[in-house]
Amino acid sequence: MGQWPPADDDALLRELGEALRDPGPPPEEFLAAGYAAFSWRTVDAELALAELTFDSACDPEPAGMTRSAGSARALAFHAGPVVVAIEVTGTGIVGQISPARSGRVLVRTPRGPYEEVPVDAVGFFSLGPPPSGPVQLHARTSDYAVATSWVSLR
């Protein structure tokens, strides 16, 4: 590639022609991002978005409550009457969905599904260590399906 932008139209056309003749394969991360974007084209029609309403890493402590100096991080997401509450440590994530129903929780990263686990009849679930980078939890029961807003857990 020479000077950018090219000095004249002929140089621009030559450079574009070269790019079209030998594009090479697209990088894997571009393909993964494209497939992920396409798979989410109908997400709004299928899932309610649960917004982050509490994060112990940045919200002040409620007055009158005490907590040990542990390293757990608590987060709560709300979508209408549905609540997804989780506690994150370096070794795992435990959580509960309310109203309590059995179902499944899926953790997604920008690269796709990370981990999926069952939710018991009282709404509890347990996941492995949190991935690095942003994640989105999808809770699906017989009565509702919600996806949390994207958040980094580490």
Instruction: Delimit the domains of the chain by residue range.
Output: 9-39, 47-61+70-152
Confidence at 20, pLDDT banded by 50, 70, 90:
confident
Give me the residue label for tokens 């690095």: 132
Q: What is the pLDDT of residue 68?
A: 53
pLDDT tens by residue, 48-84:
899 999 999 886 665 445 555 567 999 999 999 999 9
What is the Cα–Cα distance from 137 to 83, expressed in whole angstroms?
12
Query: Distance from first CA to last CA of the chain, Å, rounded?
Result: 41
pLDDT reported for residue 67: 53
CATH number of 47-61+70-152: 2.60.40
Q: What residue type is assigned to position 6 of the chain?
A: P
What is the average per-residue pLDDT within 105-133? 94
pTM as predicted: 0.66
Distances (CA, A) of 37 to 41, 45, 67, 108: 7, 15, 40, 13
Instruction: Please report the pLDDT score of residue 34 as a whole number.
Output: 82
